[in-house]
Amino acid sequence: MDIRFFFKRKALHFFSVSGFLLILVFFSAQSSVTAQCFKENKAFKTGEKLSFLIYYNMAFIWVDAGKASFEIKNSVYKNKPVYKFDSYGTSLPSHDWFFKVRERYISYLDTVSLKPLRCERKAIEGSYFVNEAYDFDSENKKIYTFIENSKVKPKKDTLPLSGCVFDVLSAIYYCRNIDFSNSNVNDKIPIQMVIDNKVHNLYVRYLGKEIIADRNKQKYRCVKFSALLVSGTIFQGGEELSVWVTDDYNKIPILIEAGILVGSIKVYLSEAKGLRHEFSAKIQK
């Protein structure tokens, strides 16, 4: 296989298997665990759409691999108005012949508390498919799950719901509302997430502020974090990746970077529409 195709596949597989979405969960946190798990939304609004491009990079070599989008919509769930977070990821059409990726997450959240209510994931990753759903029952402190994939027949299960537990997508938007202005460098913040029918205890590490340039040389004032990864097919458990998010009220990711055996995978923000606040982290040229 051509070496370029090998690393394209690595980048695409990193993007899939929840990889790309999982990265973004860990970008914002405060220096101590808050007693209030859920907060009022001050960071985003309905109509926001973020788009990203995924690359493999080694020295001066750049290989494009895929793209993803995150969109916020109004919806109704069990006769109540909710936020519908809709994320879609895909390999580039020119790459589908050797490793096709189509992945969609949908998460429904309470518009006041930001509590997750339901999450759905459907994906095709090469020859692998997955269909998952999680229903959060806060009153009875249970998570009702449904799992089906190429290796597992349709299966229902019930998990305990204690404390602050998020699905991947709801955690992204919840974290954008956390104030990390009092964080100290190397502060480690725990977060619980349900992934692959299991509640994982993960963390983020605050690494301070930096100015970051995208591939078009546009600069942004950012806050940097590292994240603990869940063990998977590309990374071993315990490895970390780096995430840079805007140092403004929007708190949107600009760059995500993870090292692999040779080179790195980089994910760049390509477009941001419908932001709630002025994009003040963007440095005027």
Give tens-digit pLDDT for 162-219. Answer: 888 888 888 888 778 877 778 899 888 777 888 888 888 877 788 999 999 998 899 9
Residue 280 lies in a domain: no
Residue 16 lies in a domain: yes
State pLDDT tens for residues 228-280: 665 543 444 454 678 899 999 999 999 988 766 666 778 899 999 999 999 99
Q: For the whole model, what pTM was predicted? A: 0.84
State pLDDT tens for residues 121-131: 998 888 889 99
Residue 20 lies in a domain: yes
Residue 282 lies in a domain: no
Say whether pLDDT at 90 is over 90: no
Residue 220 pLDDT: 97
Domain of residue 10 covers 3-270
What average pLDDT is seen over the chain?
Answer: 81
CA dihedral 15, 17, 18, 19 (to 10 degrees): -40
**What is the separation of C-alpha 247 from the centre of its chain, rounded to a whole number of angstroms?**
18
Residue 284 lies in a domain: no
Residue 277 lies in a domain: no
Residue 65 lies in a domain: yes
Residue 72 lies in a domain: yes
Q: How many domains does the chain have?
A: 1
